[in-house]
Structure 1
Amino acid sequence: MANRSSSSLRSRNASSSTNTGGLNLSRAQEKEQLETLNNRLAVYIDTVRRLEQDNKELKSIISSYSDTYEVETSKVKQLYERELEDAKKLIEELAREKSRLEIDGEKSNAESQDALAKLVRKERELRAAEGRLKQYETEIGDLKARNDALGYDANRKTDENVVTRNSRINLHALLFADSNNLDALIEAIKLTRNLPGVNQSQLFTSAIRVALRLNQSDMIDWLIKEIQENRIQLDIRIKKYLDAHLLSKGLDPLNIEAYKSQNKNEKDSISSASDDYDGMNILLSL
């Protein structure tokens, strides 16, 4: 603006010099030039004022921008700080998560190793179980064969039981018959007890055999007692035979043959009775 003023003064001085120096210039021209200069100066002044106003507005805008910048910068800084804190927290959480994942990974690795060991053990147990299963199948086959054999034996035993049942029925019938026979033999023994010349050894033998089959101990004891008494009687008969034999030595020749015949019969009877009683004793000892 100072340059413009100095320029106008120089122009004015030059024009003054020109007016002074030149006789042809008129005052109207000078006035016109002055008006032109004044107009130009007014234009300059208006321009300066307008520029100053624009400058104030620009300063206000700049100040507003500066305030906005500071506010926005503060907001951005606060936002950055918050994000930084969040990032730090996130990093810490990630670090903790990483540590936890590492621990979990180690734990999972250990569990996987244990699971692998268990799997290997289970495979061994499975193979052993398969071997036992095959063994069991073989044993089951053997047991089935034995079961079939036992079934066959059971059927055979059933048939045998039927036969045994029939035999038992027959045995009961025989025992009943033996019981009746034993009663009859006992009665015969009692009836022939005091009859002379009757050999009871066969009766005793039959009675003992029946009593043994029937397992009647009381009857066996009674028979033993009877046998002992008959043995005593036999001993008496033997003594009489010996006495008669001694007596025959003092007889005359005519009666010797008769005594010999009688003694021979008595001897045979005694020998037969003795053999029968010996057989009965052997039978009782069994």
Structure 2
Amino acid sequence: MSDQQNPVTRYPQPPFTPQPQSFPGLSAKMTPEPDYGERSYKGSGKLSGKVALITGADSGIGRAVAVAYALEGADLALSFLEEESEDAEAAARFVRETGRRVLLLPGDIADPAVCRSLVEKTLAEFGRLDILVNNAAFQQTHQSLEEIPDEEWRRTFDVNIHAMFYITKTALPHLKPGSSVINTSSVNSKHPMPSLIPYSATKASIANFTISLAQGVAEKGIRVNAVLPGPIWTPFIVTGMEPEQQKSFGSQAPIGRPGQPAELAGAYVYLASDENSYTTGALLPVHGGMAIY
């Protein structure tokens, strides 16, 4: 068995060199750089003719989803913070190289007006919306509840929860039967960490929101699901974790390493594809074997 076939040795393993960046962080400054699937993901037309709006699409999981969706034949609207324009432009260049159309949507989704505009601009550009991926998130680590600034607590909920509500609410009237909403939750929704109290709380809310909404819109032919990532090597890690935590990141997973964003892309394709039309209200873990239930 080659290293590329063995999930244990396929990608870099800890220890990693601590490499702190200020939020939101850039992929090009990470060592090793994350794998977004540009060379490893093979498309087969599963999403041909569809339009997807992805938040947090400049880097991390969102960028890997954008890469896979483009290779599967979808046109894309990519939402990102202005500070992450360098990563977003790189993602857009790849999408264009696949022959798909791409719309860049800079803005801070902590603002409800920005959330609504993402959907409106996507519809104006493409005339339709088939897949909504609520992926953008904010996190910071703290050793105690008392250390968490009030404004940081509010921002975590504004970005992770309130934005999902505003964007989804705006999108729902435009989603046709066969459309799909996919939310990024986390294993922290099932296994909350004391150093990530705000983030863990929001991820549990996302899981709950997903199941509730799935039941509410099932009769309309709209599916709603969530992915629960485990430890994934993204700019999140170098902007939100202490150096010692970065060094051993991913070692808690039975596979022994963090996942790469490209390793999650297939889950988002699965949940968006018409082939899986009976899957709704699902929470799909991709976590390297971690026990979370």
Flag the structure with larger Rg.
1
* TM-score, shorter chain, exceeding 0.5: no
Name the one with the larger helix percent: 1
TM-score range, shorter chain: under 0.3
Higher relative contact order, structure no. (Cα contacts within 8 Å, ≥ 6 residues apart)? 2
Name the one with the larger strand percent: 2
TM-score, L = length of structure 2: 0.18
